Amino acid sequence: MSDDERGEEKELDLSSPEVVTKYKSAAEIVNKALQLVLSECKPNTKIVDICEKGDSYIREQTGSMYKNVKKKIERGVAFPTCLSVNNTVCHYSPLASDETVLKEGDILKIDMGCHIDGFIAVVGHTHVLQQGPVTGRAADVIAAANTAAEVALRLVRPGKKNQDVTEAIQKVAAAYDCKIVEGVLSHQMKQFVIDGNKVVLSVSNPDTRVDDAEFEENEVYAIDIVTSTGDAKPKLLDEKQTTIYKRAVDKNYHLKMKASRFIFSEISQKFPIMPFSARALEEKRARLGLVECVNHELLQPYPVLHEKPGDFVAHIKFTVLLMPNGSDRITSHSLQELQPTKTVDDPEIKAWLALAVKSKKKGGGKKKKGKKGEKGEGDEAVAMEETTNGES
């Protein structure tokens, strides 16, 4: 069954309380998984071990839900845990044989996703492996990503357009003397669809065009912000580093190699819809078979991209539900203390940050003082404004 068929079979959305519950349950798990991954990030720890712990936690937690229902409910990892270090931008989730370890002072970008019944919650977070406040350009690039995320949260709302967000996040990054990384897309998500057709571009340029779109009530978005102190045009340095793929359900091809057929059959059974890590496949056979699958577009690769050595890169990703009473950011994690070298004085950016996320009307009283891992969005924005205004 294709993504579109699954999505359009019933076209379940946030107007159903059960759907909202599944999104929030997936979010609670992925927020806790992120907390676990952060606690495992210590100098001399192997990156692959940390990624595996993140994925295992999501599998265990989702596996214990909806066990006694008549109709089987698919659930588990919606995007494999990635841990991209320093000038590596994204999608680093190495194979079991990889010996790379973390070092003191590394800038870590963690990216992961969970789904329940195809309703997906993703999260991305940046952390510097050090004690005490983050200072200098590292603080600038993280503050740029976080402030851009806070602005995006306030502009991804019914009636606003995708290009409004693209322009705003670039302006925020420039205020910190940073750039938004090109080629990063924020997608609408639907049931079993992690990369829906409505898209927010990170940077508008002649090479990358997307259809103009207006946000609507009851939609869900994964807002993906990556900032850099470099030229923000990341490169693929080594195709062998790519380990995350997603089956292209609309493509067909008769594979020639036995290894390719074996691997593709395994992928079709285990990972028919969601992105997966090649770590879950038998390594030698996978290396052989994946190449032919990718060459004939049966699999969509998620390449590991890099900025130049010495560039600082930060990543913030969150899932937002466009509810009738306002935007509900369901995935997040609080940042370390930042002491950026820049402050945001631009009145337009300050006005965006001052916008309410939730309307004060009905339902406003329902939101309690945030569960653990589900912070009130306003608090984070205020905290961030204080940091970016040079306090602390």
Question: What confidence tens digit (pLDDT) does each residue in 294-345 have?
Answer: 999 999 999 999 999 999 999 999 999 999 999 999 999 999 999 999 999 9
What share of the chain has pLDDT > 70, as a percent?
A: 89
Query: What's the sign of the alpha-carbon dihedral 287, 290, 291, 292?
Result: positive
317 closest CA partner among 86, 111, 51, 24: 111
Give me the mean pLDDT over the 268-293 stretch: 90
Confidence of residue 360 (pLDDT cuts 50, 70, 90): low
Q: What pLDDT is attached to residue 110? A: 98
Least confident of 12-16, 217-221, 248-252: 248-252
pLDDT reading at 145 higher than 70: yes
For the cut 80, the answer to whether the pLDDT of residue 168 exceeds it is yes
pLDDT at 373 over 60: no
| CA dihedral over 247, 250, 255, 258, signed as positive or negative | positive
Q: Which two tokens stand for residue 205?
A: 């340029």
Q: Helix, strand or coil for residue 264?
A: helix
- The answer to whether residue 390 scores a pLDDT higher than 90 is no
pLDDT band at 209 (very low <50, low <70, confident <90, very high): confident
Q: What is the pLDDT of residues 249-272, one digit of tens each?
A: 889 999 999 999 999 999 999 999
Residue with more model confidence, 94 or 206:
94
- Look up the pTM and report it: 0.89
- Is the pLDDT at 206 greater than 90? The verdict is no
| pLDDT attached to residue 9 | 56
Pairing status of strand 134-135 against strand 338-339: parallel
Confidence check: pLDDT of 366 > 70: no
Residue tagged 């000038």 (tokens)? 87
Q: Which residue has the tokens 């009473």?
A: 325
| More confidently predicted of 385 and 210 | 210
Contact 55, 47 (CB under 8 A): no
